[in-house]
Structure 1
Amino acid sequence: MPHLQERRSRLSVRLGTGAALTALLAGCSGAGGGASSGGNDSINVLMVNNPQMVELQKLTADNFTKETGIKVNFTVLPENDVRDKITQDFSNQAGQYDVATISNFEVPFYAKNGWLHPLDEYSAKDKAFDQGDILKPLQESLTAEDGKLYAEPFYGESSFLMYRKDVFAEKNLKMPAKPTWQQVADLAAKADGAKSGMKGICLRGLPGWGEVIAPLTTVVNTMGGTWFDKDWNARLDSPEFKKAVQFYVDLVRKHGEPGAPQAGYAECLNSMTQGKTAMWYDATAGAGSLEAAGSPVKGKVGYVAAPVEKTDSSGWLYTWAWGMQKSSEKTDSAWKFISWASGKEYENLVGKTIGWPNVPAGKRASTYSNPDYLKDASAFASVTQQAIAGANPRDPGTQPRPTVGIQFVDIPEFTDLGTKVSQEISSAIAGRQSVSDALKASQALAEKVGKEQK
């Protein structure tokens, strides 16, 4: 997958606090928003501007429109802008857009507020779409508490550990297929300095609820911690949470990349690609760039499951998906577009016209039995599939949670809370304060959010 797509596929953007609170206060809006603009044979689609979406935009007229007669009017914006615009339009049920790109982060509260059209009825009738082929964790993450499906995935991702096979061989190091975090720390120490300027591991340290918080929270989960218990009591001062954060901070300070407090997904991707780090724990989407034609490390990287301690798996789960606005008056046409954009036919179209590495993968079981796709993605395809299959957004840790989410807490307020906590953690990585002080401040922030949820 292209570099920019991968950067945008991560949870690095924020649903603005004001917009999120507006969304909560809006509650279940009525459908009196008016029809979407355009003729009867057209729909309006609002989507994020990552490269795979742009590729879809370019392919639509000559394929989807030619086959169905339905014209698609696209509005394509950067993530920050698109999320704000989607929240405004969907919360007001203005009906300007029939379909929009949303993620598994938004689906639960968008559905609860009545902003999305359930898709079960459409998918059940559309046998060619083959709903059963959608990977179960993604389908579950797009299903709300009422048991209804509210979005269809365009692509999905989890997280795993990437490492330099050649460097490990030279140093006589062995990477387990399912490593523990302590094994990773030990390997990072031994691989540190294996080549001139090479560090043992790259881990995000950049502030942001979708930057350092994403991988860190998976470490918290598998080490027995949680942001909130089932009754919304904040638990950032618990021994388990403290242990996980201290471990993460110590590992990146001792054997991580230079400038870690300012290193996010993009910086770690560059570091791994340029041979400056022996290991990298991050999004499965990163493999696409590492194995791309022209990559200096193509064929030199191994891929194994996300490290664990107390859980069977710890990889995160994320998907960009298509949601239909409840007030849309063109639901049949909107579904036809969603079915095409998330369907097997579209994956084959991309593979044959653009290239199999560009396929929006990670959502269908059939992708991982497609010999054409597997030929180009053999190094990481099966590990990616296993990572997504093992992700459990409803029960990612060792104790009950008040809401879904693996690398985030699925409430609108988390965009603000996670970002503020990330600033405290990043400060600890920089050595400006202790982990204890960082978590003391973070616990106070989380307690306020917990009380609001109660």
Structure 2
Amino acid sequence: MISKTRFLGLLAATMLAGTTTVHAQTRLTIATVNNGDMIVMQKLSSRFEQQNPDIKLDWVVLEENVLRQRVTTDIATKGGQYDVLTIGTYEVPIWAKQGWLKKFDDLPAGYDTEDVLKPVREGLSHENTLYALPFYGESSMTYYRTDLVEKAGMTMPEQPTYDQIKEIAAKIHDPANQVYGICLRGKPGWGENMALISTMVNTFGGRWFDTDWKPMIDSPEWTQAVGFYIDLLKNYGPPGASSNGFNENLAMFSNGQCGIWIDATVAAGMLFNPQTSKVSDKLGFAQAPVASWPKGSNWLWSWALAVPESSKKEEAAKKFVTWATSKEYIQLVGETEGWVSVPPGTRTSTYETKQYAEAAPFARFVLTAIESTDPINTTREPKPYVGVQFVGIPEFQAIGTQTGQTMAAALTGQMKLDQALKTAQSAAQRAVRQAGYAK
């Protein structure tokens, strides 16, 4: 006969074992970029954990260039370090073709895939199947300080030319008071300075490659576009511009130090929010500037969440990705952070929401910019690649990064412009020849 003491001991052990089973957790490691919207996602993810007590989220938040390097290395080597990756419209179709990403072909009906904006949805697909879900989508646009432009007696056109941008920047440049005429990305990287420079090359009539995959980096169009870019930053930009990427310029504009900033449409919500911007009541916006060729002047990008094939936690990872990119998540951000802060550029329903339309006067403007981009018919002369501000081939990550480094060297005066362009031309030519694109 079992003693009362032993019985109580066995009962306690059984209850403890049951408790352990109930609270056993699947731990997901999420790699993401240190942009404002992703910081909000990390903050609000405690709601997901409350709804899913069997899932625990571990965050790895990295600067953009570092994130790209680490997730690319991990997925190419099948390292399995991450269960959810933050990647974009460049990586998704390439990595899906390699078999590196899990499909999102089993989404619940309530997710409403058709609500996702078509250019964004197509950019995250391979062979008509989604391989990542968009957290936010963006094009590019011009931000400016209305008070400075008015004080200078100038008017910003709805779609300025680069010559007009230069003229206005010159008038409002006031370095003695730490107000700079223009802020632009100078930090080297295929997704940093080259995102802007590529769109400038497009609108100045250039392209990365001709239809035979010959690089066109040392062409007159590149010389004119990059020369104009360097001239703007050297004469009317802040000191140390070669260290400034998206986040650095966002901080400067928010603090009132930039008169004009040409960058991602996603910044509009942050700049218009008085909690994050000192110039929210002085914010003006216009379309991305154009030069001789109007197409390709504004980029198309989406930061998206994907699940690598190397993850052993597919069900839990997909559950989180679906939650973080859902209509319900957008509603949650609107209710907790304010509607001006919701992730933009992904869903038609966002732009049909009355609260968002009232809180974000730039909403329709941004939607038009995204829907008007054309990743195929971008350049004046035909091109053999898909992409506005990037070339949709695996080798571009290295080509774009190396080109970005030489452009930064030209900006800082370490290399002359013609030397930088010739150096980048040779490196690109060697890369596409080795990859078998060019003969």
Name the counterpart of 1:385. 367
Distance in 2 separating the partners of 1:40 and 1:394: 48
Name the counterpart of 2:417. 435
SS of residue matched to 1:299: helix
Distance in 2 separating the partners of 1:86 and 1:433: 31
Deviation of 1:229 after TM superposition, in Å, equals 2.2
> Please, which runs of 5 or more residues in structure 1 have no aligned partner?
1-37
Aligned residue pairs total 411
Distance in 1 separating the partners of 2:428 and 2:343: 36
Match among 395, 400, 407 for residue 389 of structure 2: 407
Corresponding position: 1:44 with 2:50: no
Corresponding position: 1:136 with 2:121: no
Match among 311, 330, 345 for residue 362 of structure 1: 345
Alignment of 1:7-26 (within 5 A): none
Deviation of 1:440 after TM superposition, in Å, equals 1.4
Cα shift readout 1:242-263 (whole Å, capped 9, x = no counterpart) = 2211222222223333333343
Corresponding position: 1:115 with 2:96: no
1:311·1:397 contact (CA, 8 Å) conserved in 2?
Answer: no
Deviation of 1:307 after TM superposition, in Å, equals 0.9
Deviation of 1:114 after TM superposition, in Å, equals 0.7
Distance in 2 separating the partners of 1:423 and 1:81: 15
Distance in 1 separating the partners of 2:83 and 2:243: 38
Match among 296, 321, 329 for residue 304 of structure 2: 321
SS of residue matched to 2:106: helix
Distance in 2 separating the partners of 1:328 and 1:211: 28
Distance in 2 separating the partners of 1:278 and 1:83: 30
Structure whose CA Rg is larger: 2
SS of residue matched to 1:100: strand
Which deviates more, 434-443 or 271-280? 271-280
Corresponding position: 1:104 with 2:89: yes
Match among 375, 394, 405 for residue 423 of structure 1: 405
Distance in 1 separating the partners of 2:151 and 2:67: 47
> Please, which runs of 5 or more residues in structure 2 have no aligned partner?
1-21
Deviation of 1:133 after TM superposition, in Å, equals 1.4
Name the counterpart of 1:305. 287
Distance in 2 separating the partners of 1:312 and 1:436: 26
Name the counterpart of 1:30. none
Distance in 2 separating the partners of 1:139 and 1:276: 36
- CA 326–274 in structure 1, closer or farther in 2 if over 3 Å, else same: closer
Match among 380, 388, 391 for residue 398 of structure 1: 380
- CA 155–240 in structure 1, closer or farther in 2 if over 3 Å, else same: same
SS of residue matched to 2:141: strand
Distance in 2 separating the partners of 1:267 and 1:327: 34
1:45·1:99 contact (CA, 8 Å) conserved in 2?
Answer: yes
2:266·2:344 contact (CA, 8 Å) conserved in 1?
Answer: no
- CA 428–99 in structure 1, closer or farther in 2 if over 3 Å, else same: closer
Distance in 1 separating the partners of 2:178 and 2:66: 38
Distance in 1 separating the partners of 2:213 and 2:23: 47
The TM-score normalised by the length of structure 1 is: 0.80
Corresponding position: 1:164 with 2:123: no
Deviation of 1:367 after TM superposition, in Å, equals 1.2
Cα shift readout 1:309-331 (whole Å, capped 9, x = no counterpart) = 31345211222212233466665
The TM-score normalised by the length of structure 2 is: 0.83
1:162·1:281 contact (CA, 8 Å) conserved in 2?
Answer: yes
